Amino acid sequence: MRSFLLVFYGNTGSSWLIQMLGSPTTVFIPGFEPLERWSSVGERSSGWDVTDSERLGWMRTVFAPPEDRNGPAFGAWLEEAGRNPHFSAPANPAYEVTGFKMNSHSVSDRPALFETLLELGSQVIVLQRSNRIKHALSLYRYHEEQKSQFDKDGIRPPSEIDLKVFHGWLKESVALHRQSEVFWAQALAVLDRDAVTRVRYEEFVDDAGKAETAERLKEFLRIDGLSYDAPLFAKATPDSLESAVINYEELAARYRDTEFQGFLTE
**Sign of the dihedral through C-alpha 158, 161, 165, 167:** positive
| Least reliable range by pLDDT among 82-86, 99-103, 151-155, 257-261 | 151-155
Structural domain tally of the chain?
Answer: 1
Q: CA-CA distance, 182 to 105, in Å (whole number)?
A: 11
100-137 tens-digit pLDDT: 999 999 999 999 999 999 999 999 999 999 999 999 99
Stretch 42-61: mean pLDDT, rounded?
Answer: 82
Cβ contact 68:1 at 8 Å: no
CATH number for the domain spanning 121: value is 3.40.50
Cβ contact 87:81 at 8 Å: yes
Crossing angle, helix 110-120 and helix 52-62, to 10 degrees?
10
Identity at 196, one-letter amino acid code: V
Domain residues for the domain of 144 are 2-264
pTM for this model (two decimals): 0.92
| Least reliable range by pLDDT among 29-43, 69-83, 189-203 | 29-43
168-210 tens-digit pLDDT: 999 999 999 999 999 999 999 999 999 999 999 999 998 899 9
pLDDT value of position 185? 98
Q: CA-CA distance, 24 to 17, in Å (whole number)?
A: 13
